[in-house]
Amino acid sequence: RGRITDRNNFPLAVSINQYDLFALKNFSEDDFLKLKEFLLLKKGFNSIKNLNKKVLIFSNLNFSQYEKVKDLKLSGIEIETVQKRYYPFGEQVSPLIGFSGKDGIGLEGLENILNSELSGVDGQKIILRNASRRPKVLKEVIHGSDIKLTIDSRIQFYAYKNLSSFVTANNAKGGSVIILDNISGEILAIASYPSYNPNNPQRKIQRNRALVDAFEPGSIIKPIAIAKGIDLGIFSIDQVIDTNPGFMSLSGRTISDPKNYNNLSIKEVIAKSSQVGASKLALKVGIDGLISAYKGFGISKPPNIFFPGVAYGVINTRENISQHEIASLGFGYSLTASSLQLAQAYSVFANEGYLKDFKIFFDETNVFQKRVIGKDAANDVLESLKLVVMDGTGELAKISNYEVAGKTGTSHKSSSKGGYDQSKYIASFAGIAPLSSRRLTIFVSIDEPGLNNYSGGSVAAPLFAAISDDVLNYLDE
C-alpha cells in the first residue's frame, strides 16, 4: 500500500513489515525451549506433542524480535511477512488521514477515499524456513501509489497542540483549526479535536469537525456582507451609521448591542461587532446582494476537497423572507458554513478580492481563482480587521513581532426543541497573519466552551494568537 506523506515527505501513513512465526512438523523440543526464553508464545501452545501440521505460534513479531529468531537458526520454524499500516503522527492528523483495516482497505478519511490509488497487490514471502534454505517468494508484491499532501506536519502539530490545549482548558466539547497559504493556494493544516489514535485497534473514531461540521458562524460573517455593500457602492468604509439607542426592532423581534455605541463608522461596526450596525447595513445590501456575497465567497458551494461527509453549508433563500431574517443574515445567522469554507472566505481579504480553490494534494498543478469583490473593497475590509485586533473585540489575538488582522465570532447553537440554546455557543476567530505578507489565513473554532468564558474574543482569539506565534516563528526559521 502506498504512503501518504506531508509536503516535506514525512510519512503520515506508511506500511511496515511485521512477522508471523510458525512451527513446522520437525519443530523440536530444543527449538521450543530456545524460543520460549524471549517470546510469549500463543496461548495454548505449550507443547510440541502431536505437531503434525504448520502452526502459528507468534504473530506480529517486530524487526528486533525477527532478528533474534533468525539468529537462533532453528530448523523447525517458518517466518512470514505481514504488512501493517502505521501512522507516525497519531492523533494529530487522524481525523484527516483516517485508517485502513486489517485487510489493507481504507476505512476512514483519506485512506478511504484514496483507497484505489493507495492499494497495491499483496504478496507473500517466506523469510526463513530453516538454516540452510534461501527465502522463497510465493507471490510478488505490487506497490500502490504514494500520495503527497500540502499539509506541513510541523504546522499541523502546532495547530493540534494548541487546539487540544485550549479545548481542554475551556471545558469545551471540541474544536477545529484550518491554516491556508494564501499565496500558493495550499492547505497547510486541518486539525480537529477530540481525535483518536489510529494505531490503536480499540480506537473510538472522531469526526473531522473542520470539514464535516457546518454551523451558523455569527459575527465572523459581518465583514463579508459589508464588503459586498462597499463593492456595490451602496456605502463606503468611513460612512457613519447611527446605532442609537443600542437596539432595534424588526418583524416583531429585537436586535441589540451590549451597549449603545451611538454613531459608528462602518470600520467601527466591524471592530466593535455591532449587531445593530451590521443589521442596518445588511438591509441596505438586501437579500439578493447578501446571497450573491456569500455564494461568491464560497458559502454553500462544495469545497475543492473530496472527503466523506464534507459540509457545503446552506443559505436561507426562501421566498417572503422577513426583514429580521435579512438582518440576521448580516450578522451570521440564517446560514451555515464549515470551518474550511470560512477560512477560504477570509482568504479573499488577503488576496485582494480573489477566491482560490485551495488544494490539499501537492501535485495538483493549478489552483483556480476568481475575483469575487474589487481590490479596494477587500483592502478596506482588511484595514477594518486590523482595527478589530488593535482596538476591538479581537485584542487577545495580538502577538509579538507580527501584525495580524481578523474577526471574532460568537454564535448560539440551535436547540433540538427549536430556536437557540442560550447556554451553548461556538466561539471562533478568522485571521490573516502576518499583515506584511498576508501569507496565512488561520481559522479557529471552539465548540461549547464553558459558560464562564465563551466569546470568540476571549476563547478563540487567544487560540489564534498561540497558533500564529508558533507557525510564524517556524516559517521564519
Who's near 357: CB < 8 A, 6+ residues apart? Answer: 185, 303, 304, 367, 368, 369
CATH number of 448's domain: 3.40.710.10
Question: Which backbone phi and psi does 475 adopt, to 5 degrees?
Answer: -70, -25
Residue 138 pLDDT class (50, 70, 90 cuts): low
pLDDT at 126 over 60: no
Residue 327 pLDDT class (50, 70, 90 cuts): very high
Same-domain check for residues 126 and 223: no
List residues bridging with 426 in a β-sheet.
411, 447
pLDDT at 169 over 60: yes
Given the DSSP bridges, would you call strands 124-128 and 11-23 parallel, antiparallel or unpaired?
unpaired
Question: Which backbone phi and psi does 75 adopt, to 5 degrees?
Answer: -90, -20
Work out the burial of residue 57: count CB atoms within 10 Å of its CB; fewer than 13 is exposed, 13-18 middle, 19 or more buried: buried
What is the pLDDT at residue 171?
96
Given the DSSP bridges, would you call strands 124-128 and 136-139 parallel, antiparallel or unpaired?
antiparallel
d(C-alpha 450, C-alpha 459), whole Å: 10
Same-domain check for residues 143 and 177: no
| Cell numbers standing for residue 171 | 471545558
d(C-alpha 240, C-alpha 268), whole Å: 9
What is the pLDDT at residue 194?
98
Given the DSSP bridges, would you call strands 11-23 and 77-86 parallel, antiparallel or unpaired?
antiparallel
Same-domain check for residues 290 and 405: yes
Task: Exactly one of 94, 100, 164, 219 is catalytic; name it.
Answer: 219
Q: Residue for cell digits 455591532?
A: 274
Helices (H), 190-274: 209-212, 222-231, 266-272
Consecutive H or E run containing 11: strand 11-23
Same-domain check for residues 95 and 194: no
pLDDT at 50 over 70: no
pLDDT at 229 over 90: yes
Consecutive H or E run containing 460: none
Residue 57 pLDDT class (50, 70, 90 cuts): confident
What is the pLDDT at residue 318?
81
Nearest to 190 by CA among 98, 281, 114, 264: 98
d(C-alpha 196, C-alpha 94), whole Å: 7
| Cell numbers standing for residue 28 | 523440536
pLDDT at 140 over 70: no
Give 370 or 416, the one with higher predicted confidence: 370
Work out the burial of residue 34: count CB atoms within 10 Å of its CB; fewer than 13 is exposed, 13-18 middle, 19 or more buried: middle
Task: Report the Cα–Cα distance between both ends of the chain, in Å, rounded.
Answer: 34
Q: Percent of the chain scored above 90 by pLDDT?
A: 73
Q: Which of 118, 148, 178 is the last residue of a domain?
A: 148
Same-domain check for residues 131 and 158: no
pLDDT at 44 over 90: no
Same-domain check for residues 84 and 225: no
CATH number of 25's domain: 3.90.1310.10
What is the pLDDT at residue 24?
86
- Average the pLDDT over 119-132 and give the result: 58
What is the pLDDT at residue 32?
79
Percentage helix, strand, coil for the chain under 3-state DSSP, each rounded to 5: 35, 25, 40
Residue 131 pLDDT class (50, 70, 90 cuts): very low
d(C-alpha 456, C-alpha 463), whole Å: 10
Work out the burial of residue 416: count CB atoms within 10 Å of its CB; fewer than 13 is exposed, 13-18 middle, 19 or more buried: exposed
Consecutive H or E run containing 440: strand 440-447
Residue 434 near residue 442, CB atoms below 8 Å: no
Same-domain check for residues 138 and 178: no
Domain with 140, as residue range(s), is: 4-148
What is the pLDDT at residue 442?
99
**pLDDT tens, position by position, 189-218:** 999 999 999 999 889 999 999 999 999 999
What is the pLDDT at residue 376?
98
Same-domain check for residues 401 and 269: yes
Whether 219 is catalytic is: yes
Chain centroid offset of residue 277 CA: 32
d(C-alpha 131, C-alpha 260), whole Å: 88
Same-domain check for residues 101 and 217: no
Same-domain check for residues 123 and 161: no
Q: Average pLDDT over the chain, rounded to whole?
A: 92
What is the pLDDT at residue 377?
98
What is the pLDDT at residue 136?
58
Same-domain check for residues 65 and 186: no
**pLDDT tens, position by position, 412-466:** 999 888 889 989 999 999 999 999 999 999 999 999 999 889 999 999 999 999 9
pLDDT at 43 over 60: no
Residue 45 pLDDT class (50, 70, 90 cuts): low
Give 352 or 126, the one with higher predicted confidence: 352
d(C-alpha 327, C-alpha 316), whole Å: 12
CB atoms within 10 A of CB 50: 6
Q: Which of 123, 148, 173 is the last residue of a domain?
A: 148
Give 16 or 467, the one with higher predicted confidence: 467
- Average the pLDDT over 339-365 and give the result: 97
Same-domain check for residues 170 and 133: no
How many structural domains compose the chain?
Answer: 2
Chain centroid offset of residue 388 CA: 25
CA geometry: angle at 181 spanning 177 and 182, to 5°? Answer: 115
Q: Which of 148, 170, 201 is the last residue of a domain?
A: 148
Who's near 235: CB < 8 A, 6+ residues apart? Answer: 229, 266, 281, 284
What is the pLDDT at residue 393?
97
What is the pLDDT at residue 139?
59
CB atoms within 10 A of CB 29: 11
pLDDT at 230 over 90: yes
Q: Which of the residue ranges 141-150, 164-173, 277-286 would you say has the lowest mean pLDDT?
A: 141-150
Q: Percent of the chain scored above 70 by pLDDT?
A: 92
